Each structure stands twice: as C-alpha cells, then as structure tokens.
Structure 1
C-alpha cells in the first residue's frame, strides 16, 4: 500500500488544530450567540464569531478529506490485488502464466512427502500451430488457444494447475498416487482425444493435434525441492515433449534419461549446421542420370553432403530435416546451388543439372525470383536447370506453387515432380500444373526386384505418364535386372547405384574429362560413359536427396 503524501499529513494537522480551536472558542461564542438570538444579550464579538465559523469550515474540510483518503486507499488496495492477479495469469486464456506456474510448482515440490502422493508435470504443445495462424489468421489462432485451454481446464483433476507458458505451449501439474502412474497416462490420453474435436472459427473447423511430454517428481535428483527443482522438472518434461514431436506428434511420452543425451546431440547438430553453412562445409555431390535406351549420360542430380570436421561426411537424411526445422534450409540450398552452377559450367553444355527443392523453400513467395537471380549471377543457362519438387508441396498452397512453376518455366527452367507415387497428387493437378517430367520414387523401383505387383505399379505409372505426355525418370536403379525390366517398359531416364554412387565435383570432372565431355571438349556428343564401381569416398551418406 502506498504511504500518504506530505500534504495529507498537513491537512490532518489543520483539522486537528481546528477542532482544538473550536473547543476553545465555542464555549465563549456559542452562549453569546444563543442570548443574542433570544434578545437577552448583546451581539458576540465578530472576530470570535468568524473564528468559530472558520473552525467549523476547517473541521468539515478535514472530515471530507478524511473520507476521500479512505476511499482512495481502499481503491488502491483493490487495484494492487488486481494487479497481482493479472501478473500471475495469461490474459488470452485465463490460465496461470509461466512465472506463477513455476513458483507454484516449486511450492508443490517442496511439500511432496515422497511416499504416496506424487506430482507429474506435463508440457503440452500444439502441433503445426504456425500453419494454423498462416492459413486462418491470428484471430483463429487465438480462438484455438482459448478453446484448447478451456477444454484442458475441464479435464484437470482436483489439485491440478494449468498454465500457458507462451505461444502454443501449455503446462500442467497433476497430483497422483505414486503406485498408480497409469492415471497420468489416462489423463494425457484424454487431452489428446479432446484435441481431436475440431475448433470452429467463423464456420470453419480447425483441426489440431497435441504432443505431450511428462516428467514426475521422482525424476529429480536429491532431496532438496525448490524453485530450481521446478525448472529442472519442466526441462525434463520439455525434453519428453520434443521426443513426442520427433516420433510423429499427436502422442505423449514420459521422460527417460537417454532422451536428454539425444537432445544434447541434437543441439550440437544444430550448432554444427549453423557453423557449417558459414564455413562452407556443405558441398554438392552429383549422381549420374542416364538415358536407359542408349546408355548416354544426360546430366546429374545435385545431392547435398556435409563434410563435418567432427563427424566426417554426413548424408542429407541427417541434416536436412534439422535445417528445415531451424530455418536455415533456404540459405543452405542457395549456397549449394551457387556452387553447383559454377561446377556445371565446366561440363558439356548438353548435360543438365537437377536440383531437389525443400517444401519449406516453396513457401517463400520470392522463391522463383531467387532462383532466377542466382542463375543470372552465375551466368547459368536456364534450359540446363531442372528443378525437382515433391508431391507434398502441392497441398500447402497450390496457387502459389502454380505461380512459381509458371514463372520458372517462362524463363526456360524445367520442372519435375519428384518422388511421384508417394504423395497424393491427383490427375487433375498433374494436368493443371505445367510439369516437364515425372520421377518414379525409388521405393517402387526397389519393389520390382521382389514382388510382381511392384512391376505392375511401375508399368501403370509409365502408362499414365504416356497419356499425360510427361517423360519419366526412374530413381534407385541398383542392378542389371531392374535396368532390363525398365528398358522393356519404354523410353526413360534412370539413376541409381547401378551407375555409381554420388561423387564430388572433382571426381565428376575427372570422369567427364576422360569421356571428352567437358565444356571445352569438341568430341563429347552422345558419348557413352564407362561406369566405374562406386568409390569409397562417395559411398558414405547414401542416396538421399537435398531434401
């Protein structure tokens, strides 16, 4: 409560002095006034009468000021209580906020007896919440957060506490009997089931899922339980939540010690990737693309490799998903393409360069302009570039994807639909989008060796492409048997380990030099290469793409 101001004390002193003066003068003046009014005495001294009136006025002023002070103090007490309440809650959802939740959890942990009563901390994160905001607007996102919080509050057992930690992340602490941890499993399952009901916003149903990490007080080391223990418990629950995300989302996991080591390694990878981009540790490798009928080399597909000083050569299946998550995939890809353009300028001008694009890059409305700018900067002919996009790109923003494809094709760039058959492309999409080529996913080619229906499926895809007048590239050709089977199905290109593992730029140059297929060679047209066995240098890292 705020202390009264100095002038409040002055007012109080004046009022007290006025009361004392009133007592002193009233005994002299009031009887004379009464006698004067009754006609039995002279009029009292005017100075004493005025002094009495002034005393009365001062007393009334002091009394009024006293009432105003009391009212002000009462309002201040109410405001301070409300301010403390507002400082402890999240204004959007009405839940506790991070500060008050951590404090409350510390108090709870300090009072746990460690025998029968136990507490579990749950960290709850909405999956793909950014997409909800991007597609439906932030008002829709706020509605989702409020509705989700209200639903979880209704499910919360007695003695539980729900908080919004920030963004799309919530946390709750739930009491349970130490011998019946299944109660927490049931509670987490109910939360996930609750989220399955879509949130209605302006007539539009918004579907959400949740990932949950759980840690109990028995996961803490040592007998001391305080606010620092609350932070540690929340950290363990957060690690378990991250593990749930990694395992596919829409699920829950209890904290386990190996998860912490895994997260630490993940953090080291993130830091290594950021450093590696600035240091130029990510380099392009190249996989040969062959015309199956003639055996002629037609071009190369660029595949990313991380030449880490600590980890050695790392394949893209390790670092590409992380680069996408931490938002550095565009910078990495642009640096790789810039280097690939410079490498490919040394090849025969008939050889094409294929570049696989991450779906994350396709969300950038300036993607096409960035590609064209790179080609201009490195003086690379558009007709030699083949951009490969996956089917998953088509379902995020079909209109923007169509605009990008059209912009690139208008400049002479070729566009291929990669990993065809693994996504959900419809025939109408294939007919409406101006693709130049389809690439059959390696999983279908691999099945041709083992199952008859694999051959039938590949044959069906080839027949469909013939109807759409789209040429085919088959990925993952690993032996002569598959190659011969594909040759019988029609004219197409192919790539895979049968023709050699992906190679760095210097090995590609050596191979092309031997075949007379460098930019300054004059006798390389239609040259059929002699394919060497896979080299040990390029074997590590597999046959994964840039994304």
Structure 2
C-alpha cells in the first residue's frame, strides 16, 4: 500500500563546524603573526624589490603562501558550512511537509493529503479506462473504549486498525485517517470489477472485529464502512468522500459491523434528515414538540390506570413527525435533553389536572441517563408544575445499563428517593442479566411490544412473554405488556397472570384535547379542570338577573 513514511532528521553538524572553524581561524591567526613579526623588514624588502634596491623574495613568498593557505581553508570551510546549512534547512522543510501530510499516530495520510493524492489517483485511473473505489469507515463504539480504558488504549486501537487496513489494501491504494476514529481508503478498480472493492470492504470489516489485546484486556470493536465508485458516483474526490460518508451512516443504521454501497436514495434521506435537524432547533423553542398519551389499563377490569407519554412533533412544514424519525437525530445532535424536558413540562402540567389515581409514564433515552443531574432536573419540573412525584413513573431501556451501570444506579436511586417509580422498558430485546435486575431498585418490568404482538403467530414469542412474566413474579416485580392490539392477545396475557397492558386495543396515542375529552366522559378530571356544567336559567331567574 502506498503510505507515507516520516523521514528521520540528520544529526546537527554544528559541533563539527565549530571545531573546524577554530582550526581555520588558528591558521589564519598564525599567518597574521608571521606577517606582523616580519612586517617592517618585509615591507622594506617589498619596496626595495619594486624600487630596484634588491629583495628577499623567499620570505615574502612564505608569508603569502601561508596567508593564501589560510584563506583557502577558511573559504572552503565556509563553503562546506553553507552546503550543510542548505541541506539542513531542506531536510527540515521536508520533515515539515511530511508532518503536514501525515497523521503522526497511524502514519496514514491526513485529510488534505488524501484529497490531493485522491485527485491524482482518479486522473490516473480514468486515463487508463479504470475507476477508483473510495471507502470511508468509522469505528463502532470507539468512544466506549476511550471512556472505559483511557485514551492510551484508544491510541493503541487506532494504530492496530491502521496496520490491519494496510495489510488488506492493494499496493497502489492510498489510506488516510480523517480524524478521530474515521479512516478513508482509495484504490484503482479495473473496468467491471466492482467485486474487488466488495472483497476489500468485507476483509476490512472482518479484520477489525478481531479483538485487540491491550494489557490484560481484549478490546472489541467493529466498523461501519461506506463505498462509492468514481465511474458511477462522481469523479471529484470531495463528492466521493461525502457520498461514502452517507453510505457509511447507512451501514450504521442497518446494524453496524457491515459495509454499504452508496445509492442516490441515501442522499435524499440525508437531505430529509438535515431538514428535520434544522427544523428541530427552532421547533423546540416554538413549542412544536408536544406530548401524546397512550392509555394503560387493568387487563382484568378494563379500568384506566394511567398513560404513557409519547413525543410527537407537529411541524408546520413537515407535518406530524413520529418519534422514530426525530428521536435518533435529537440524540446525535445533542438536542434530546432540551426536547425531552420541554415535553415533560407540558405533560406534567396536563397530568396534574387528571384524577389523582392516574399515573404518567415517561421514557428516558440512554443519552439522558448519562447526565448526573437528570434526577434534579426532573424534580425541578415537578416542583414548578405541581405534579406529584408519586404519580410519575420513569422508564429506562436495557441499553442504558451497559454504558455506565454505576451512574444509572445513582440516578435511579435518586429518583426513587423523591418518590418516583422506575420501570425497565423494552425488556427482552437487550442483554439484561439477573444481576442487573437485582442491582437496580426497579418497580416494574415492561415487555417489549415485538414479543406481545407476535404471541398469536409465534410460539417462541408466547414462551418469551411467559418466561418474563414468571421472572417478574419471582423477583416481585409487576409486569406490564405493551403492544396489546387484539382481544385474543389480551386474553392470552390474562391467562399468564399479567395485570396491566397498553396498546391499540385499548386506544391509540391521543392529543391532550382527546385525552381530556375521554377523561371528562369518565369523570376522571380534577374539579378545577372538569368541564363547567351548563346551567339553564328559568324565565323568572333571567328576569331577576336582568333587574
């Protein structure tokens, strides 16, 4: 593979130069002494010689020869010094150019060098009827390595990743580290040989899944990789890198640890994503993000027990946007906390006017659970809105437990100290162990809807739901099932001993207006929020009022 190598600097010759300057100076000084010592006599002889009075030519020649020798040696040394200085400066400039072109950690090219050499590689390939494949890869969960094992371990990972990539790429390929844990490669493809890039991508993905040994630890990572071709996706290196980046994110979205070829539909999706992100920034301040409420009921009696708050975005330009479209973007862009707190404030304000027996469940994203001040922020909202902590249930997902279990335990305990209940959401989809369930002071387990909705058609799903119900029973944790969409599923859940459920069988998520109407019909609004009764005045009363 064509990778740069930083050149070693040559030893500084200044010490030798100083010593040789002293020698030349000593010879010159000795010649000057001889000239002075013989000064008057020699000058007289010179005058006598040119004046026709006779001369001592031997002495004059001796002094002249010594002076010339000293001057020649001195001049030669200065010439050598200048040569050495020029060479030294040239080497320093070369080192500076090399450092400007190379990533010092991996010895790969940097982004600027990749752009320069990528343009040359594309021109070379097209001149011979070939194309160039550009691959951009990003390490999956590299931040976790830095957070858990430190940045030294992260540097080791980056070096070994570069070594493994170098062993796979063909000799004429170029490789670069673009920054952080992002790398790019470019190699020439023969016409009609796209499978070459496919094989290279597969080999890179496979190579980077092998554990990396650091001390006593095996560091396990993976990579998501995007591929483009210059004969199909553009011939400018910048546009190829951008489209490879789009394909890389498509690989991440598809599950990570894989590669994906760029397709125009990906770019359209990215444009929509960018439009969503841009709209979200103003939408939070404009109050466009609102809570919807999904009923939670007693499976045995059908009584309404509470609601789960679900986020919706009522965008004036995009229409009603569902959470699976904007929640991932909010997490990636860092807007999830502000958005979630904004919606919670509105939900707490709504729910304080419901019947005091009704609870409110609120989901917390994994990124929010990294915030050590989360419980204080929620408590502040409760105090400001007047919603009782005892009626609030916070739902966390299984994935939250693996990023920082100790922090999760601290936050959960802090919430419970305020009287807030905590449930484990989407149970069965992750890797929770009994140790995790025992480590956290949970109040409830929530079975993921994917198992519940498939109970009628899948014996395996029914068995999983039954196992979770028995697990909750043995741990003393109530279990709630989400995704109850038919009477048949409700009947099955009742047979398994589950007491609480939610899903479209009991009602779809509703706006606050729809929720208030339903509660009013059931007489489950507080007195101050209940609809005012319509009073019909008699004719006599109206006349007294008029008088």
Q: Hey, what does 2:455 align to over in structure 1?
A: 448
Which of 176, 180, 199 in structure 2 is aligned with 1:167?
A: 180
Q: Hey, what does 1:419 align to over in structure 2?
A: 426
Q: Hey, what does 1:131 align to over in structure 2?
A: 144
Deviations 1:221-256 (A, max 9, x none): 5xxx6xxx2212222222222222222221122222
The CA distance in 1 between the partners of 2:525 and 2:322, in whole Å, is: 28
- Is 2:342 aligned against 1:373? no
Q: Hey, what does 2:245 align to over in structure 1?
A: 238
CA contact (8 A) 2:389 2:419 kept: yes
Please report how far the alpha carbon of residue 283 of structure 1 lies from its aligned counterpart in structure 2 after TM superposition: 0.4
Which of 206, 214, 218 in structure 1 is aligned with 2:219?
A: 206
**Range moving further from structure 2, 192-201 or 425-434:** 425-434
- Is 2:523 aligned against 1:516? yes
Q: Hey, what does 2:109 align to over in structure 1?
A: 96
SS of residue in 1 equivalent to 2:231: helix
Please report how far the alpha carbon of residue 304 of structure 1 lies from its aligned counterpart in structure 2 after TM superposition: 0.6
- Is 2:92 aligned against 1:79? yes
Deviations 1:486-514 (A, max 9, x none): 33433612211122111111221222223
The CA distance in 1 between the partners of 2:69 and 2:127, in whole Å, is: 69
Q: TM-score, normalised by structure 2?
A: 0.82
- Is 2:203 aligned against 1:190? yes
Please report how far the alpha carbon of residue 437 of structure 1 lies from its aligned counterpart in structure 2 after TM superposition: 1.1
Deviations 1:443-463 (A, max 9, x none): 232233334554444333222
The CA distance in 2 between the partners of 1:306 and 1:447, in whole Å, is: 29
Judged with a 3 Å threshold, the aligned counterparts in structure 2 of structure 1 residues 522 and 138 are, in CA distance, closer, same or farther, namely closer
Matches within 5 A, 1:499-510: 499-510=506-517
Judged with a 3 Å threshold, the aligned counterparts in structure 2 of structure 1 residues 433 and 262 are, in CA distance, closer, same or farther, namely same
The CA distance in 2 between the partners of 1:270 and 1:446, in whole Å, is: 32
Please report how far the alpha carbon of residue 303 of structure 1 lies from its aligned counterpart in structure 2 after TM superposition: 0.5
Deviations 1:45-97 (A, max 9, x none): xxxx9999999988876665544333322211111111111111011111111
Unaligned runs of 5+ in 1: 1-14, 525-547
SS of residue in 2 equivalent to 1:356: strand
Q: Hey, what does 1:543 align to over in structure 2?
A: none
Unaligned runs of 5+ in 2: 1-24, 47-53, 532-547
Judged with a 3 Å threshold, the aligned counterparts in structure 2 of structure 1 residues 409 and 64 are, in CA distance, closer, same or farther, namely same
Which of 338, 344, 365 in structure 1 is aligned with 2:345?
A: 338
- Is 2:484 aligned against 1:471? no
Please report how far the alpha carbon of residue 176 of structure 1 lies from its aligned counterpart in structure 2 after TM superposition: 2.4
- Is 2:327 aligned against 1:329? no
Q: Hey, what does 2:304 align to over in structure 1?
A: 297
**Range moving further from structure 2, 481-490 or 312-321:** 481-490
**Range moving further from structure 2, 349-358 or 236-245:** 236-245
Q: Hey, what does 2:390 align to over in structure 1?
A: 383
The CA distance in 2 between the partners of 1:220 and 1:473, in whole Å, is: 49
SS of residue in 1 equivalent to 2:483: coil
The CA distance in 2 between the partners of 1:456 and 1:259, in whole Å, is: 39
CA contact (8 A) 1:516 1:522 kept: no
CA contact (8 A) 2:140 2:222 kept: yes
Q: Hey, what does 2:281 align to over in structure 1?
A: 274
Q: Hey, what does 1:534 align to over in structure 2?
A: none
Judged with a 3 Å threshold, the aligned counterparts in structure 2 of structure 1 residues 455 and 151 are, in CA distance, closer, same or farther, namely closer
SS of residue in 2 equivalent to 1:162: strand
Structure with higher RCO (Cα < 8 A, 6+ apart): 1
Q: CA RMSD in A?
A: 3.4
Q: Hey, what does 1:12 align to over in structure 2?
A: none
Q: TM-score, normalised by structure 1?
A: 0.82
SS of residue in 2 equivalent to 1:210: strand
Query: What is the aligned residue count?
Result: 491
Please report how far the alpha carbon of residue 478 of structure 1 lies from its aligned counterpart in structure 2 after TM superposition: 1.8
Judged with a 3 Å threshold, the aligned counterparts in structure 2 of structure 1 residues 491 and 79 are, in CA distance, closer, same or farther, namely closer
Deviations 1:434-482 (A, max 9, x none): 1111112222322333345544443332222222111222212222232
